[in-house]
Amino acid sequence: MAEVEMIMPKMGESIIEGTILTWLKQEGDKIEQDESVLEVATDKVDTEVPAINAGILKKILAKEGDVVAVGKPIALIEISDEEEINDQVNTREDILQKDELLTLAPANTAALITHSETSPKNYITENDSRFYSPLVLSIAKKESIYPEELSQIPGTGKEGRVTKEDMFAYLKVRGSVPKAYGNSAKAQPISSGEDEIITMDRMRRMISQRMIESRNISAHVTSFVEADLTALVLWRNRIKDDYKQREGESITFTPFFVQAIAKALKDYPMINISVEGDQIIKKKSINIGIAVALPNGNLIVPVIKNADTFSLNGLSKKINDMAKRARDNKLSPDELSGGTYTLSNVGSFGNIMGTPIIMQPQVGIMAVGTIVKKPAVLETPSGDVIAIRHKMFLSHSYDHRVVDGALGGMFVKQVANYLEDFDPNTVV
């Protein structure tokens, strides 16, 4: 039997230490590789830390409340001998040598792994904020998966972590698609001397990673409905000045969209779900995320918890407050998590419709387009007439793994019904 140190991993750029919040396992407990062992708080986020080895949690070196520097040991894990380790990881015969697995440096996103004489010195760089286990890093090294390519592989582990199964699944299809990265000596130039090269910031890299992961996880399908919002538009035009004078802020269309979505989620609760493996988790709370464009062009999604319990006035104030603090970078981590459905207002940019990508692990997201005046045929007791109406497209993207077309289509139609049936006598 052997003992290995479990260290405080690096959990993001500029983070040099973390505070032990809670040990999820106790001394003597059996743990599996990549199983969460403790919760750690940093100055940016709270997260669970997985075990880099399977075995027995032999000794806890850092108590709850301790502040530990990145790279310092926090626990000892008792592992089996070399032969048992190779059987346990169930890797391909030619991927790992026994001594290589046992002597790997503790895994973190700044681990220095020398790949070969022609490979980058820093095999995994600080530009990639994801956690990688030693096994995943070793597979990447063996298969010449360079840092940029590794960062694009979708992970099915907790918080999007890449597992050995993800690596093997990726390797199966890797040969059938063009490699985006590889030996830099053979790479073709992608820019001319006149082009400007812009390095993605941390948020843009994270958004890019999450979008790719979502497209790989969910079977995206989109249904469209056009809604007649004339009654709502005329009502808002009538009250908006008095509302702003009374409340000191504007009333937008967004709270009406959120309210209609919350009502429809109650009617169709199988949209308010998430998927974990082969299980469907039916959510009790209706927590609606609202995509907010930041001044730098990035996107952030604050979440209105229990959105179905707010009045229209309450929703308006909540949305205005969260949008302002989002742009000022003053939202707490809790306000960015826990969403069960998401709204994206592409109409604010003058777009008539969009097909947004689902926020994992949710199964649906709705885009609302710009409201435009259109001629429309109306049925009246004296016959059909053509009138100018205020129309808007709603786009509902949903995960076809668990949401069939009928359900996805009925849901977006129900949202449109609530908006079309707006009572012009509403008091807010």
364 has a pLDDT exceeding 90:
yes
Q: What is the mean pLDDT of residues 198-226?
A: 88
145 has a pLDDT exceeding 90:
no
355 alpha-carbon distance from chain centroid: 17
Instruction: Tell me the pTM.
Output: 0.59
**pLDDT number for residue 87:** 40
422 alpha-carbon distance from chain centroid: 33
Structural contact between residues 119 and 183, judged by C-beta atoms closer than 8 angstroms: no
Nearest 10 degrees: CA dihedral of 210, 211, 216, 220?
Answer: 130
Lowest mean pLDDT across 14-18, 205-209, 376-380: 14-18
Lowest mean pLDDT across 74-83, 251-260, 300-309, 364-373: 74-83
Residue with tokens 């008792």, as numbered in its chain: 78
Lowest mean pLDDT across 176-185, 279-288, 354-363, 400-409: 176-185
**pLDDT number for residue 43:** 60
Q: What is the mean pLDDT of residues 328-355?
A: 91
**Mean pLDDT estimate for the chain:** 81
- For every residue of 223-241, DSSP letters joined together read EEEEEE-HHHHHHHHHHHH
At 101-134, the pLDDT tens digits run 323 333 332 222 223 333 333 444 445 566 777 6
Determine the CATH number of domain 219-420: 3.30.559.10
Nearest 10 degrees: CA dihedral of 164, 166, 169, 175?
Answer: -100
179 has a pLDDT exceeding 70:
no
In the chain, where are the structural domains located? Answer: 1-79, 219-420
Q: Which of 281, 211, 217, 221 is nearest to 403 (CA)?
A: 221
Rounded Cα gap, residues 161 and 29, in angstroms: 23
Q: What is the mean pLDDT of residues 321-337?
A: 88
**pLDDT number for residue 1:** 67
> Hey, is 1 helix, strand or coil?
coil
Lowest mean pLDDT across 127-131, 179-183, 336-340, 410-414: 179-183
Rounded Cα gap, residues 215 and 359, in angstroms: 10
**pLDDT number for residue 190:** 55
Structural contact between residues 68 and 17, judged by C-beta atoms closer than 8 angstroms: yes
Strands (E), 346-400: 364-368, 372-380, 383-399
**pLDDT number for residue 186:** 42
Rounded Cα gap, residues 290 and 269, in angstroms: 19
Lowest mean pLDDT across 37-46, 71-80, 180-189, 336-345: 180-189
Residue 274 confidence class, pLDDT cut points 50, 70, 90? very high
Q: Which of 302, 275, 299 is nearest to 399 (CA)?
A: 275
**pLDDT number for residue 321:** 95
Whether domain 1-79 has CATH 2.40.50.100: yes
Rounded Cα gap, residues 326 and 345, in angstroms: 15
Q: What is the 8-class DSSP label of residue 340?
A: S
Q: Which residue type, as a one-letter code, is found at position 299?
A: L
Rounded Cα gap, residues 224 and 367, in angstroms: 10
CA gyration radius, the chain? 26
> Hey, is 334 helix, strand or coil?
helix
The set of catalytic residues is 400, 404
Structural contact between residues 139 and 91, judged by C-beta atoms closer than 8 angstroms: yes
178 has a pLDDT exceeding 50:
no
